[in-house]
Structure 1
């Protein structure tokens, strides 16, 4: 895991955050445009690290910036219990970090069918949440490449931590295709490469129908043959042909073998390369006391992988088109 300790730059980063609009959702386009300008003023070590990850990724497929400024627990509002966030909620420090770092990477994007089409997400435990939802807590949220079934799948998933869970048990699990590939036999790699596999979609993209079936096709390995991209979802990918079942199982086992656990603590930002990894979250126990685990999430699109065609802005919201 690649980690950069940013604690030496806390004062500088707080000064940048203070120059952002105080109510981000009141004018999200303006807020993210201001973040873009500030992203050019990041300390060189942070800016260069983000640029390098954006250009080259990493073997492990993720990058953690730790030691970032964050409100102490007593100064934070209660952990949310509903979504979306109030439009008049004042800016939180970790939202500022996601805005500035994210604009260094690309364009923050909302998805029309997800979270009411909002761009800045709160991630918190919710009683009775669907097992595929990020709001689950006491069950494992299984491995998934975020929106692998979506034509405009985000290039990066960014998570920032304002509050950890009480026992600090929750871990974000990340498995990279660059680590898993050497464990796959050549015949399995060849079979999975550019092989479309039927895939269902998350609840938000089902149009209110409980089960719309496998309306997308996802290729587990595709793109550069020697350094392929990964499309994997343990719950939704549905191989049917015997050879497909066997090959996807082998890929699944390889991903399990090289999984890394990231325990996010307040002041951490995790950037996941969503085209070369799959990620999950381990169970934890909420207390429903206003101080449960609270992350912030944004999705980032870049010019790579056909995610932008020209003229897009940070803050845009896109509609669902399944991969075929």
Structure 2
């Protein structure tokens, strides 16, 4: 089942599900068309969560092991998952594009979200849709976010937010034309032994602020001073967005530059193909993307993205009526 992808550091585990694709698709299609078959409806989310139990045991076991221990790279790549293939519509090209109807890829994402925790979204970002399109948008090529096509810098997803996703899922529906757009990941477990003593001390200190990403709008503001690394000294969590995190002291600036250099040094790049699902442990792993050239011809790169909270209860005060969208 397990292979590896090219890596400059530790290898990223790859689970090939090609021979189980039909069984996975059959389970997805058993989810009843409740409430207009809308993926954001709570009844449909619950049905997807229940369907998780019927997925092939090997897939469930792989994901549960990853949830318990995401390993030295904090990333898992599942290959060969069923997507719509020839029936896929043109790649969207509008800002804020999301998936609201229960197509097969959305069902896959929400079934897996229900196995790793609970799906979640943030209302200021794409209206709080649980399944979001990651596509290039004309005129936003230089945007540091999911609508851009220039190099996307390393970041913790929603680093500014107190309830950041625990896991980020990226499902490839269509690759870019030249097959050069790569998902880049960097894990604290690779860079920690390489950090200088001064850099490590600074990164564990509350000497940084992080602004909300452009997708949230300026009204979302900036955090109070926080540390970039926190938790267990030998296995810390990371909270950083190199496009939005500001050092508040000279030593913090030096440490942030050192950390960015080490992430670049130890980064792994995966060229996602249709049916590939990358699961990123957002607590210990930053991610970004290499640059590519969109054509806006309906066949551009198209990923779908969902976030997972492993403990939904912690964000209860921000979710209306115990739903899945944080205000």
TM-score (norm 2): 0.88
Aligned 8 A contact 1:35 1:103 in 2: yes
Aligned 8 A contact 1:155 1:302 in 2: yes
> Against the structure 1 CA distance between its residues 112 and 217, is the aligned structure 2 distance closer, same or farther, given a 3 Å change threshold?
farther
| 1:299 paired residue number | 307
> Against the structure 1 CA distance between its residues 127 and 308, is the aligned structure 2 distance closer, same or farther, given a 3 Å change threshold?
same
Alpha-carbon shift at residue 194 of structure 1 (Å): 4.0
Greater Cα offset, 25-34 or 178-187: 25-34
Match of 1:273 among 266, 272, 281: 281
Measure the CA separation in 1 of the matches of 2:15 and 2:59.
8
Alpha-carbon shift at residue 314 of structure 1 (Å): 8.8
Match of 1:94 among 91, 105, 110: 105
| 1:52 paired residue number | 65
**2:146 matched to 1:134?**
yes
Measure the CA separation in 2 of the matches of 1:3 and 1:97.
17
Alpha-carbon shift at residue 249 of structure 1 (Å): 1.2
| 2:118 paired residue number | 107
| 2:244 paired residue number | 236
The CA deviation string for residues 81-133 of structure 1, in whole angstroms up to 9 with x for no partner, is 2234474x4x3322221111111001111101100121110111101226222
**2:48 matched to 1:40?**
no
Match of 2:227 among 198, 206, 219: 219
Measure the CA separation in 2 of the matches of 1:65 and 1:289.
28
**2:131 matched to 1:120?**
yes
2:153 aligns to what SS in structure 1? strand
Match of 1:62 among 75, 100, 105: 75
The CA deviation string for residues 139-192 of structure 1, in whole angstroms up to 9 with x for no partner, is 111111111110111101101011111111100100000011011123321232
| 2:295 paired residue number | 287
Measure the CA separation in 1 of the matches of 2:318 and 2:241.
31
| 2:196 paired residue number | 185
The CA deviation string for residues 272-308 of structure 1, in whole angstroms up to 9 with x for no partner, is 100101111111111111111111100110129x845
Alpha-carbon shift at residue 2 of structure 1 (Å): 1.0
Query: Structure 2 stretches of 5 or more lacking a match?
Result: 1-11
Alpha-carbon shift at residue 21 of structure 1 (Å): 3.7
Aligned 8 A contact 1:65 1:269 in 2: yes
Tell me the C-alpha RMSD between the 2 structures.
2.3
1:49 aligns to what SS in structure 2? helix
Aligned 8 A contact 1:160 1:270 in 2: yes
Aligned 8 A contact 1:200 1:215 in 2: yes
> Against the structure 1 CA distance between its residues 278 and 205, is the aligned structure 2 distance closer, same or farther, given a 3 Å change threshold?
same
Aligned 8 A contact 1:193 1:222 in 2: yes
| 2:9 paired residue number | none
> Against the structure 1 CA distance between its residues 166 and 84, is the aligned structure 2 distance closer, same or farther, given a 3 Å change threshold?
closer
Measure the CA separation in 2 of the matches of 1:284 and 1:307.
38
| 1:322 paired residue number | none
> Against the structure 1 CA distance between its residues 140 and 24, is the aligned structure 2 distance closer, same or farther, given a 3 Å change threshold?
farther
Measure the CA separation in 1 of the matches of 2:40 and 2:247.
44
1:122 aligns to what SS in structure 2? strand
Alpha-carbon shift at residue 271 of structure 1 (Å): 0.4
> Against the structure 1 CA distance between its residues 128 and 307, is the aligned structure 2 distance closer, same or farther, given a 3 Å change threshold?
farther
**2:188 matched to 1:170?**
no
| 2:13 paired residue number | 2
Measure the CA separation in 2 of the matches of 1:6 and 1:26.
24
Total equivalences in the alignment? 311
